[in-house]
Structure 1
Amino acid sequence: MAQNPFEVLPSEILDSIVDLVVSEYDPYSLEYHLVCLRRRDLLRIAYSCKCLCFPSLRKFWANIFDGSFHMSALEVLLVSLPRDVKQSLGIYALVPETTFMEYCQCIRSVSLEALFSNIHRWLEKHQSRGSLIYNTLEMRREVARELLRQFKTCTKPIEKLRCVGFHQNPAWIINYQLVLEPEFAQWIGKITILVIRGPFNSVALINGLARNCKNISKLVFSFYCFGTDHFAEIMQAALRLINIQPKLKCLVWNGTYGMQNISGDDPSPVLEILPKHAGTLTCLRFEQMDFSLIQSLENLAACYNLESLTFERCRNISYQAVQPMNQGLERLREIRLLECQDFDPMETFANERGILVLPPGVIF
């Protein structure tokens, strides 16, 4: 059998090809390169060359599958599905036949919103062309389910799961809960980074993740819905999820976006649970929080391994509240204050320690 010419390309050339694909000249450069004249050659190499997968192809996936998941990424994943799976989904005729390649082995991050959104767009595109009869909710879930089944076959566990959605559509909320099905329990149990954002009622999702995810090192919560009917339930579910993480190193808590004086911008509930993570927490970030009700940051000061502390668009902190920080936090090496109001006491503390990090372009 003739040797595949793509399999003997020097690694330097393979790296340069991937570097071209993931170049960051502008936000749309990746999609541009994939649909321009080079697309055929780039995809032929990606389909055919095993060497491209490790480690070069990882660069490719890191750029297109983490939050900015493009349609082109979905198409590559669908092409790589086994033939019998594509036939059972009824999409076999819609994707090119190619040498099977384990692209899913390179997946380290899954954005549920991007996954479902692009599946819907892809099916809708083919339906409008007349090449597909149905684009039902159940069909979209079946396609997503088959892709998740491929993801869980990775020899290395997934690192990051993003559950982001700025909507209240019950169908999308149910979509996200697909990862809670028993067959995926062990898979999501290996996740180390979890991001939950959006105004959707995420109580069931968070509770389900809490049952399976016990290895989280970084948690990001940005609800943008404080003050709504579901806030109290969402807050309690989120706090329970935080509480049960024995390896938590980084916590990001984003309060009310662009809103003030409503339920949800009080950091007290989060501060109360910090001592439980005092030995592991190294990075803490608060956004959109009002510290006017906080009389003491002693629970924050108890985090003796804390190295990085960030306050973004926070407001109203007192000298009394900051005082306990003077007695600890020996490992703290940076404090970032971004667009904060009435936060002079924290700025004074950071300056006295010599650990204030100014935003780009700011001269002290």
Structure 2
Amino acid sequence: MPSPTHPPQNLAAALPFEVLEMIINDHLCENEYTVIRVPRRKALMNTALVNKNWFNLSMRILWSTIFENGFTLSTLEILLRCLPAETRRDLGIYELLPTGPLLTSYGIYVKSILLEMLFCFVDRWLGENLPDSNTPKKKRAIVRALLEFFNTHNNSGLNKLEIAGLHINRLWARNYEVIFDSSNWIENLQVFVIRAAFDSTSFINRLADVCTKITTLEIDYFNFDGAPETDEIKAALRLITAQKKLRSLTWSSVVSVDPTKLLNALSSISRTLEHIEIEHTDFSNVLSLCPLAQCSNLETMVFKECKNISEQAVQTLEAQQKLTKLKEVKLIRCSHFEALQSFASRRNVLQQGMTFDLPLY
């Protein structure tokens, strides 16, 4: 029964902020397996109507991952309105935006950026509103202003960056280098995802020079030309070895890329790595999995659509007897992995027959 001091209509307002945050994060966010859980937009819009405290918390959760949660041209326009008036005038967009105050400065909550989406929507918005000035220079200036605003006005700063599509043309690689104009937030980047990125060697090498605090790294390259090791792959390996706090690594490539180079790179992150996922990789030339055994905090190994791990490679892994924290070995659509399967069964950590359409982490 509600106490007389807290009648039912005031219960929501009486909840401590920390409890409120736990409730919304646990019950209004999708997919517990993801690194950054994406909030359900409609549910958060409803909770925002309860009172001022619920509004502020709901908007902070929703807009922290707005790029992953139904981003539209109207969303971009709201973010542009969050920019200082002087900045909007300098960009030449002040007269194009609605006047009047916003309910809150939504841009201060943004923590996760899908950079190719940001560029594409800026391009569409300029194309509709300032077609004559829709140039690469103009787009970069607007994106740079937004990134600087997100970082400087958010107390905890931006923490996730995802890029894709650098293979479309070399202009994208030059576009994406605008992030280095705000290197202070790049230095503190925690989650980085790169997909289908050709012509990105310079970009990734510069990232490796600046970023050493990434905790979650996902590298998803599609090596269409079949070359065993491209400059992009070398840069990606260098990015891995530069990390000091990496806990989760996903490596998705094609069968032609030598996984020995990846395994060797693990030596630099052996003390911190807890989760590794390797996809679309042929282990035919791998004679030892000892580098994995050196990862003393490793809890989960995932192999997806891989093939050909030999008995010899697994024997050297088992002989180390160092994976004391290993809890799960997940094999998903793998072939000729019987040796690793037997090893995981003996350790009682094997997971198979999983639902394939759910993200693994």
| C-alpha displacement of 1:149 | 1.4
- Structure 1: which amino acid aligns with 2:138? M
- In structure 1, the residue matched to 2:120 is 117
Distance 1:344 1:30 in 2: 41
Do residues 334 (structure 1) and 355 (structure 2) align?
no
Moved more, 268-277 or 162-171: 162-171
Which of residues 205, 208, 214 is equivalent to 2:206? 208
Q: Which amino acid aligns with 1:118?
A: F
Matched, 1:275 2:267: yes
Confirm whether residue 187 of structure 1 aligns to residue 185 of structure 2: yes
Q: CA deviation at 1:357?
A: 1.8
Q: In structure 1, the residue corresponding to 2:277 is in which secondary structure?
A: strand
Q: Is the 8 A contact 1:226 1:255 kept in 2?
A: no
Q: Kindly tell me: are residues 200 and 51 of structure 1, through their superposed partners in 2, closer, same or farther at Cα, counting changes over 3 Å?
A: farther
Looking at structure 1, the residues matched to 54 and 177 of structure 2 have their Cα atoms a distance apart, in angstroms, of 33
- 1:63 Cα deviation after fit: 4.5
Question: What is the deviation of 1:241?
Answer: 1.5
The residue number in structure 2 matching 1:350 is 344
Kindly indicate whether the alpha-carbon contact (under 8 Å) linking 1:188 and 1:212 is maintained by their aligned counterparts in 2. yes
Alpha-carbon shift at residue 305 of structure 1 (Å): 0.9
Distance in structure 1 (CA, Å) of the matches to 2:74 and 2:52 = 19
Q: Report deviation, 1:207.
A: 1.3
Q: Does residue 284 of the first structure (1) align with residue 276 of the second (2)?
A: yes
8 Å contact kept, 1:116–1:140: yes
SS at match of 2:192: strand
Matched ranges for 1:131-142 at <5 A = 133-142=132-141
Matched, 1:293 2:295: no
Alignment of 1:186-335 (within 5 A): 186-225=184-223, 227=225, 231-256=229-254, 260=255, 262=256, 264=257, 266-326=258-318, 327-335=321-329
1:91 equivalent among 86, 90, 93: 93
Bigger CA drift: 224-233 or 286-295? 224-233
1:119–1:143 Cα contact (<8 Å) kept:
yes
CA distance in 2, matches of 1:353, 1:242: 28
Shift of the alpha carbon at 1:337? Answer: 0.9
Q: Which residue of 1 aligns with 2:73?
A: 71
Contact 2:296 2:322 in 1 (8 A): yes
Instruction: Give the distance between the partners of 2:223 and 2:168, measured in 1 at CA.
Output: 11
Contact 1:67 1:111 survives alignment (8 Å): no
Deviation at 1:168, TM superposition (A): 3.1
1:161 corresponding residue in structure 2: 161
Structure 1: any 5+ residue segments left out of the alignment? Answer: 1-7, 35-41
Q: Decide whether aligned partners of structure 1 residues 187 and 222 sit closer, same or farther in structure 2, where only a CA change above 3 A counts.
A: same
TM-score by length of 1: 0.79
In the alignment, residue 137 of structure 2 is paired with which amino acid?
Answer: E
Q: Secondary structure at 2:168's aligned position in 1?
A: coil
Deviations 1:80-116 (A, max 9, x none): 1122222222222322223254323211111111110
Task: State the Cα deviation string for residues 311-339 of structure 1 (Å, max 9, x = none).
Answer: 01111111111112322211000011111
CA distance in 1, matches of 2:118, 2:145: 12
Moved more, 158-167 or 297-306: 158-167
Q: Structure 2: where are the runs of 5+ without partners? A: 1-9, 15-19, 31-38, 357-361
Displacement of 1:342 after TM fit? 1.4
TM-superposed CA distance for 1:252, in Å, is 1.0
Secondary structure at the residue paired with 2:198?
A: coil
Verify the 8 A CA contact 2:165 2:196 in the aligned structure 1. yes
TM-score w.r.t. length of structure 2: 0.80
The Cα offsets for residues 191-218 of structure 1, whole Å up to 9 and x where unpaired, read as 1111111132111111111121111111
Q: C-alpha deviations, 1:137-188, integer Å up to 9, x for none?
A: 211111111101101212112211112116331111111111122xx11121
Preserved CA contact (<8 Å) 1:254 1:289? yes
Q: Which runs of 4+ in 1 moved over 6 A?
A: none
CA RMSD, Structure 1 to Structure 2 (Å): 3.3
- Contact 1:65/1:73 (<8 A) preserved: no
